[in-house]
Structure 1
């Protein structure tokens, strides 16, 4: 029977483009959840391509490194568990970001008893989360979504995203249609809308500033998109009112 894992430490790591993390090894397991970026990760005799939602689980005394292609951020856990503990070496989060929520909670939670409960939940989920490597189309869509998150406020064009990822525009559209049941342009607009609504609901910024910060061509463009999606004009969604 495997002994129960025990959390030794947890934290957040961020790095800019080209800021690699050198090869190292631990006497405990290292569990890493990648939040943003594209990273090449040599682990022992294997090499993995990590994108947001990837979880890498490195056993004790295994050399590993991170090669930053775009800049990246992760959540990491140091866990005492048997070297043969039945975890996959690689798995992927689900659409509800279940694993990320548990990783984030473990990083933030100071209470030892609650951490033990959270780690037990993570242990169970990781045992069930083993999955085959993503297909080329899944990788393409995940990388495009990351570029949308990084560049939504700019004049980002789908053709430029496809070119950066080594795909044709039609190939990118086909991948989104099959895997997300939407188009790349609609996915990019959804990212812009999410950030715009956050500004509208939680700040007193003028709508012109919100439009400029979130990649909309004009206030009217922003307003049409907000109303078409929510059924309400931007002003009706304000929860933080400007001071008189």
Structure 2
């Protein structure tokens, strides 16, 4: 029987959730809990001593305090937060601080956990989502090569419709075309050209299936040289010509 290696962590369990607001100058005194305290700051500016560290918190900041760790909130302005008390191992792989994304994903989960009072099952699902997102935030920062590939992929999404060339992307990123190809081969097991074509194809199929635009317009909108170029890629990927896909969608 093969041994399982690696650290095992018990699943977090929600003990309580709520909202806290305070006026300017209204500090929260130093205290500690026997469980984790996860706090999402919604508004205000706060200085937070946590153990041996001190953090400045602004909207979108999440502070995660392990069990039996003294911490406080020093209000520099009026502030509001969402807080969760969570039973988890003291070495659970969460960061001590992280920040929300532009879609306010973490706030959505915090708010849902605070609001949900009827279903233990739903609270458990929401806490699992939060756990995954927080552990992801604690992952090591991306390497320069990973950042480079991610930046190239972002450029593909932004410029796929304008006849973008891989040489142009490499130049904008300050790397040689061969270097960009090598990074994609190692990290994505594909080429940058194939990755760009996948973006174009995804958008083209969306237009074909969900609009009545002429194929020439679809080709123009998605960076294909011609209708025949578009048709070849669509048929290679799906086994069907663009017109057949429309017929199938319209007459299931």
TM-score by shorter chain over 0.5? yes
How much does 1:218 deviate?
A: 0.8
Match of 2:63 among 59, 65, 77: 59
**Is 1:123–2:123 an aligned residue pair?**
no
Q: TM-score, normalised by structure 1?
A: 0.59
Cα distance, 1:233 vs structure 2: 0.4
CA deviation map 1:128-162 (0-9, x unaligned): 43321111111100111011011111121111111
What is the CA RMSD across the aligned residues, in angstroms? 4.1
Tell me the distance in 1 between the aligned counterparts of 2:183 and 2:148: 8
Which one of the candidate residues 28, 33, 40 is aligned to 1:29?
Answer: 40
- How far the C-alpha of 1:117 sits from its partner, in A, is 4.0
Q: Structure 2: state its 5+ residue gaps.
A: 1-11, 20-37, 43-54, 65-72, 75-80
Contact kept? 2:208, 2:245, Cα under 8 Å: yes
**Whole-angstrom distance in 2 between the partners of 1:194 and 1:222:** 12
Paired with 2:224 and 2:191, the residues of 1 have a C-alpha distance of 18
Residue in structure 2 matching 1:174, options 182, 205, 209:
182
Please say if residues 162 and 172 of structure 1, whose CA atoms lie closer than 8 Å, have aligned partners that are also in contact.
Answer: yes
Query: Aligned in 2, Cα 1:150/1:59: closer, same or farther, shift over 3 Å?
Result: same
Q: Does 1:232 align with 2:240?
A: yes
Q: What is the deviation of 1:28?
A: 3.8
Q: Could you tell me which residue of structure 2 aligns to residue 206 of structure 1?
A: 214
Matching of residue 80 in structure 1 with residue 57 in structure 2: no
- Quick one: distance in 1 between partners of 2:212 and 2:106? 32
Q: CA offset at residue 200 of structure 1? A: 0.7
Q: State the TM-score, normalized to the length of structure 2.
A: 0.57
Q: Is the 8 A contact 1:5 1:119 kept in 2?
A: no
Higher Rg of the two aligned structures? 2
The aligned counterpart of 2:166 is 158
1:119 CA drift (Å) = 2.7
- 1:141 corresponds in structure 2 to 149
- 1:2–1:85 contact (8 Å) kept in structure 2: no
Structure 1 residues 118 and 151, CA gap change in structure 2 (3 angstroms): farther
Q: Distance in 1 between matches of 2:63 and 2:164?
A: 40
Residue segments in structure 1 that go unaligned for 5+ positions in a row: 9-26, 32-43, 46-55, 63-77, 92-99
Listed one character per residue, the Cα deviations across residues 161-187 of structure 1 (whole Å, up to 9, x for unaligned) are 111112111111000000111110110
**1:209–1:5: structure 2 CA closer, same or farther, 3 Å change rule?**
farther
Say whether the 8 Å CA contact 1:204–1:240 is kept in structure 2: no
SS in 2 for 1:204: coil
Q: How many residues align?
A: 179
Counterparts of 1:7 and 1:240, CA distance in 2: 47
User: Post-superposition shift, 1:202?
Assistant: 1.2
Cross-structure match for 2:227? 219
Q: Deviations over 1:185-207 (max 9, x none)?
A: 11000000000001111111111
Q: Is the 8 A contact 1:109 1:115 kept in 2?
A: no
Q: Contact conserved, 2:40 with 2:62, CA < 8 A, in 1? A: yes
Distance in 2, matches of 1:230 and 1:108, equals 42
